[in-house]
Amino acid sequence: MTTAVVPGSPLPSQGDRNVYYILTDDFAYGSKLFPAGSMCFLKERTYLHSIACGTTSTPYMRVTMLEGHSIVTIEAEILQPVNEEEAVFLLAINTLNERLNYFLDRCSLEAAVKATVGQQVMVDLNQQLFTGTIRYVGKITKSPLSSSLCPSYFGVELQGDGEGRGHSDGTYIGSEYFKCKENCGLFLPLNKIRFIPALGGDPAREEPKPDVDEVVPVKVGDTIGFYLDDVFRQGIAMDVYKEGTQWFVKVCPEEEGPTDVFRDIPMDSVVKEGLLSPVFEPDMAPGSLRQLKRERSGSGEELESEKQSLDVNSMVQITLDKGNLVSGIIRWLGYLPKIEPKMAGVELDEEKGVTDGEWLGTRYFHCPSKRGLFVKLQSCQPDMRFQCVSSGLLDPSTCSRIDSPEVLANFPPLRNGTAVSVLQGRMRGIQGHCNSCYMDAALFSLFSCTSVLDSMLFKPSLPPDGHVQKILRDEIVNPLRRNGFVAANSVMHLRQQLTEKGQCSSFATSEKDPEEFLNLIMHHILGIEPLLKLQSGGQKEQECYCYQIFIDKQEELVVPNVQQLVEHSFLSSNLKLVEIPSCFIIQMPRFGKEYKMFSKIIPSLELDLTDLLLDSPRECFVCGDVATQECSECFKDEMFAVTGMKQYCDSCCRQAHSHYRRKAHRPTKLHVPEEFQSRSLMDSPRIPRERMELFAVLCIETSHYVSFVKYGPEKENWLFFDSMADRHGDENGFNIPIVTLCPEVAKYLQLPVAALAMEQSRDMEGVAKRLFCDAYMYMYQSKKMALYK
């Protein structure tokens, strides 16, 4: 078996330096276990010497662990090289599972390497995001060994709402690395930083960066005066730009009322605030001017009271000059220097803005260049396409036509605090409509918090099927990851396309099963490679996308876990996996949608495939040596453990089957790879385990599908999604999708099996009952294999 190298991995260059690696899987060495995500190194001269001696093809490498500095012989297949620039940032992440995730997420790691002092970032503090500026990048501790590596951290100054939430003024253990206000500084590892993606600017308009010998008298935020239709006006400079040799100012006039009508005025036709005088207001007595300001203030208060329902993350529409309507999301609310009305910082859906969230050198929010706009809050109107989010006072007939715009930029899956901030709440997730819950739950599970099947979005497809792929990517997945919401009409658009291309004419209206939808879109339309390759008893290889568990009723399995069910099913059908899948979708045993074979099933957070793989080295379950024989009858023997296939080395097999109760058993020979045939238990490490991690569970109750999605590494990190959790109005109304946190799941995962069996489902907290009692489909991923597929 060969191991592909992640793009960007280093090739060793000559010199007496270290070559660094990260473990992509758990590895046991004697009594020690080195989890996936651990890091190690070897001397470059040792590596070069092995090349010169022609020993680089050996399946093992002798390395030094960065944590603990023990010298270990590790299987080369699970080592991935890391260049030193990346290694220092990975080493700062203490949670090994998260460290491996960031190694696999090339975008975040490459952004960390390129990060510079002064760069704006978002900081994850207790699952909340705050604005910050990088003030320092580097080490803050000394390595105990001169040859070892020091982790690199980001020294960040918190700004805006984050001020006062830090623990430092730029000093750490008596050493000053940067200066900032007290309790505004933090030293953070890579996993607590969110880098803002930058898009290319508009070449037709230059940012207000004048030449060295050219001075621009007006800056963004200045109050200026100008003449419009022979009437003198005042306003705020929203943008300063150059077209050819002429400078212009984009102005928001103060007298335009609740609609922000922007005017583009030549620079030589405006007067800065400091140069204004009463002579420019000849028709107004001082009293009338004060009266006008009071009237404006009063009307502003009335309008502001009408806008109280608008908050950060509200979907809004804004009317610009000439009646042009733009839509966006409020990212910030507050007051700007020198501006009286309450302002909103809006991230627009299109590049029709003037900023990336910065105002007069201070950053208030983050968005791509030319997507940000600061406007008076009273100029924002609730977006008619999303007006169902706000209140029950809206016309249901209007709300039933909710729309969500396409998102053409590609967004990564949501994880940890970002997933919570974007997805949690009412009118979040995918909106259900007309029996769509099977599709809503499947799509939310597959794409909200994982990228394991993102190949469906980008795989080259034939022109007739490219339209389906575009709908899936631009109308469903990207809006879900960017805005946290997908309207029902987007899913209906996909359902209509599936109806046209499928063998069934009722995809747009009828109730279906998730596996029927997945088989159609993966196989018949997008034509992606089957997720599973199976072989039964030496027969021809079989391929499929989902695996249905078939087993007889097992009296000893009162409350089984997924690992046990998969093993029993594979054994009863004499099945083996030909290769490790990147995604393993497993359907639970049922008789129709009503009858469940088990009242409860325990989710296995990890699925161990080691003993289910064809022609893969396996471990004797008695002594740990290389297994040479397998016995299916011993698997059912009550004397042995319930979980785990039963395979033996020759010695243990003879001993186990010397018992009179097992003399009739007929063990079968296992294929042992050549490199393991002469292996000795005493001088070689244990056989590595191949494990997959659970990322989502689909559940069904009374023909309605919901889903649980794991958004982080902790046992408590679960989201519960229901596309039809609530409803507004009657037959002319619409469904309200809801995403909630369900940390109570962890409590039941930690219970002993006997205690869980005695637990009454009606007494289980929150939505935990649905996960344990109504599971229909489990979804597992192998991030290591996703690198290659």
**Taking the alpha carbons of 141, 145, 151, 154 in that order, is the dihedral positive or negative?**
positive
Token digits for 424?
A: 């949690």
Residues 467, 493, 523, 704: which is the catalytic one? 704
- Residue 432 contacts residue 447 (beta carbons within 8 Å): no
CA dihedral 246, 250, 255, 256 (to 10 degrees): 120
- Residue 533 contacts residue 541 (beta carbons within 8 Å): yes
SS3 (DSSP) at 443: helix
Cα separation, 329 vs 656, whole angstroms: 67
Provide the residue count of the chain: 789
Residue 359: alpha-carbon gap to chain centroid: 29
Cα separation, 654 vs 649, whole angstroms: 9
Cα separation, 148 vs 64, whole angstroms: 10
Angle at 452 between CA 450 and CA 455, to 5 degrees: 120
769: enclosing H helix or E strand: helix 768-773
Angle between helices 84-91 and 96-104 (to 10 degrees): 150
Cα separation, 720 vs 707, whole angstroms: 6
State phi, psi for 542 to the nearest 5 degrees: -110, 150
How much is the CA Rg of the chain, to the nearest whole Å?
31
Sheet holding 193-195, edge to edge: 185-188, 153-158, 128-138, 120-125, 193-195
SS3 (DSSP) at 156: strand
Cα separation, 723 vs 705, whole angstroms: 9
- Residue 726 contacts residue 394 (beta carbons within 8 Å): no
125: enclosing H helix or E strand: strand 120-125
What is the number of other CB atoms lying within 10 angstroms of the CB of residue 378?
Answer: 23
- Residue 107 contacts residue 203 (beta carbons within 8 Å): no
- Residue 328 contacts residue 373 (beta carbons within 8 Å): yes
The DSSP result for 677-706, as a single string, is HT--TTTSPPPPP-EEEEEEEEEEETTEEE
From residue 176, how far is each of 116, 169, 172, 404 by CA, in Å? 18, 8, 6, 49
Query: Which residue type is seen at 124?
Result: D
Residues 437, 546, 620, 699: which is the catalytic one? 437
44: enclosing H helix or E strand: helix 44-52
The DSSP result for 98-110, as a single string, is HHHHHHH-HHHHH
From residue 768, how far is each of 313, 334, 587, 749, 773 by CA, in Å? 29, 40, 19, 10, 8
Burial grade of 31 (CB within 10 A; 0-12, 13-18, 19 or more): exposed
- Residue 384 contacts residue 317 (beta carbons within 8 Å): yes
Cα separation, 345 vs 357, whole angstroms: 7
468: enclosing H helix or E strand: helix 463-470
704 is catalytic: yes
Catalytic residues: 437, 704
